[in-house]
Amino acid sequence: MKKQILILAMFTLALVFAGMKSYGQGDINYIDAASTECVTPTTLDCADDDALHPIPGKTYTYGVTVNPTVTTGYIRWFVYNATANGADIITGGSIATAVGAAEADGGGSLYLLDAEDNVYNSDTNTQPTIDISWQSFNSATTEILLVAYVEGEAGCSDNIEVYRIQPSFSFTLDIAGLMPDGTLPASGSNANECVSPVQIASYDGTNLNMDYGENYIFFAVNAANFVHSWQPTFTIVDNGTETTVDISNIEWAYPDQAIANDGTNATGTWNAATAVVNAQDASGAVGDAGECIIVRVHLDHGTAENDANANRYFTLGVDGVMYDAGATTGNEYANSNLADLDPGTNSPCTNTETDQATYDLTPRPEIVTNTAVGVGDMSFEPKP
C-alpha cells in the first residue's frame, strides 16, 4: 500500500512539473531550423547595365558579324589593357605583341573574371560570339578593351574592332531581422522574441540578487553584385533595451554555419564583426540575387530588467566595402568608391545611408508595489 501511495505521489508531481514552463536555460546561440530565409536585395533603378557597362560577375554575350563569313580564317577574342600596355594593338603589321599581353582567363586578371572556353584568345576559333564576365575596376583610370581580331579566308587579309568596357558598379546591402525559427517577419513588421526568462533570483538577507539571462537575436544581410569579397561595418544604430551591447557582442556566420536542427548546439563557425565575407559562389562573383550571411547579437542582460515600462528594441546597421583587386596589401577594403550603394531619393546610387533593421524584444512584466487604499506603498527589497 505504501508503495502504491509513493508511486501515485511521484506521478502527481510529474504531472505538475510537466505543466510548468522551464526557465532554467538561457537563449540558444544558433538558429534551431533546417535553413534560414534571406532578405530580398534592393534593385537600384539608378544603376543601368549592358554589355559595355557590365555589372561585375554577370555574364554578357559579345558578338560581331563578319562578311564574308569566316571558314578557313579565325576570329580572335581577347582583352587588352591599353593603359598598361600602350595604345598600339597592331604594330608593324603584327598583332603578336598585343596577343602576348592579353589578360589571362581563369583567375589571373584584375579585369577579366571569366571568358568562354575554347573561344577566348584562340587562333582556331570561328565563333562570332563570346560570353564574358568582368571584375570590378575603375574604367576612368584604366582603359580595358575587348578585341575582335579577324583573319580572313586563307590568311589573305585581316581586320580589327574593339569594345571599351566600363563596368557599372552596383554593390548593395540589405538587412532584416530573423525570427527565432529562421524565417523573415511579415512585411512591414519587425522580427521579435520574448525577453529571456529570469535565470536567478537569490535573496541574501538584504538584496534580491538577479540574473535576467540572455538573448541571441539574429539578422540576415544580403550582399549583391560583388566580386571576391566584402568587409562589413556593423553599427548599433539604437539600443532601446537596458542591456549594454558593443561590437564585441556582434558576430556573423554563413547560413549553413548558423543553423542546428538536431537539438544540439551549432558546431559552425561564427566570425568577428569586422571579418571579411567571401563570395560563396565557385566563380568568385555574386550577381543580383545576392548571398546572405547571418548576424547574431548577444544581449547579456545581467541585472538589466527590461520590463514593460518602455518599448524594448535593438536596431542594427550595416555598411560594407567591396574588395579592391588593385589595392596594396592591407588596403584591400579601404577604397570608398567601392562602398555599397543606396537607393536614397536625395542622392541615389551613393553610399549615403546605413542599411538597418530593428528587432523587438517582448518585455517582461513590470511589477509595482500596491497596497490597500489609505496605506502607503511599501518598498520591495532592493535589487542591486
pLDDT of residue 349: 76
CB-side neighbour CA atoms (13 Å) of 167: 28
* CB of 301 closer than 8 Å to CB of 210: no
Q: Is 70 helix (H, G, I), strand (E, B) or coil?
A: coil
Q: How far apart are CA 53 and CA 298, in angstroms?
A: 42
Q: How far apart are CA 299 and CA 249, in angstroms?
A: 7
pLDDT of residue 26: 58
Residue 19, C-beta contacts closer than 8 angstroms, at least 6 positions apart: none
Three-class secondary structure assignment of 291-341: EEEEEEEEEECCCCCCECCCCEEEEEEEEEEECCCCCCCCCCCCCHHHECC
Which cell goes with 269?
563557425
* CB of 342 closer than 8 Å to CB of 330: no
pLDDT digits (tens, 9 = 90+) for 216-273: 999 999 999 888 999 999 999 999 999 999 999 999 999 999 998 665 555 689 999 9
pLDDT of residue 139: 87
DSSP 14: H
Which amino acid does the sequence have at 356? Q
pLDDT of residue 136: 79
Q: How far apart are CA 226 and CA 222, in angstroms?
A: 11
Q: How far apart are CA 183 and CA 37, in angstroms?
A: 5
pLDDT of residue 146: 99
Residue environment code for 14-42, b if the CB has 16+ CB neighbours within 10 A, otherwise e: eeeeeeeeeeeebbebbbebeebbbbebb
Q: How far apart are CA 291 and CA 150, in angstroms?
A: 40
Q: Where are the beta strands (DSSP E) in the chain?
A: 59-63, 74-81, 112-115, 129-134, 144-151, 158-165, 172-178, 191-194, 200-203, 208-211, 214-224, 226-227, 229-239, 250-253, 271-272, 277-278, 285-286, 291-300, 312-322, 355-362
Mean pLDDT across the chain: 88
Q: Which residues of the chain have pLDDT under 70?
A: 1-26, 45-47, 261-267, 344-348, 371-376
pLDDT of residue 351: 79
Q: How far apart are CA 7 and CA 131, in angstroms?
A: 77
Which amino acid does the sequence have at 1? M
CB atoms within 10 A of CB 51: 16
Parse the chain into domains and list their residue ranges.
23-44+171-362, 59-165
Q: How far apart are CA 297 and CA 217, in angstroms?
A: 5
pTM of the model as a whole: 0.77
* CB of 290 closer than 8 Å to CB of 44: no
pLDDT of residue 21: 36
* CB of 177 closer than 8 Å to CB of 36: no
Residue 215's φ and ψ, nearest 5 degrees, are -130, 145
Listed residue (129, 135, 139, 84) closest to 107, CA to CA: 135
Would you say the C-alpha torsion 172, 177, 179, 185 has a positive or negative sign?
Answer: negative
Q: How far apart are CA 59 and CA 77, in angstroms?
A: 16
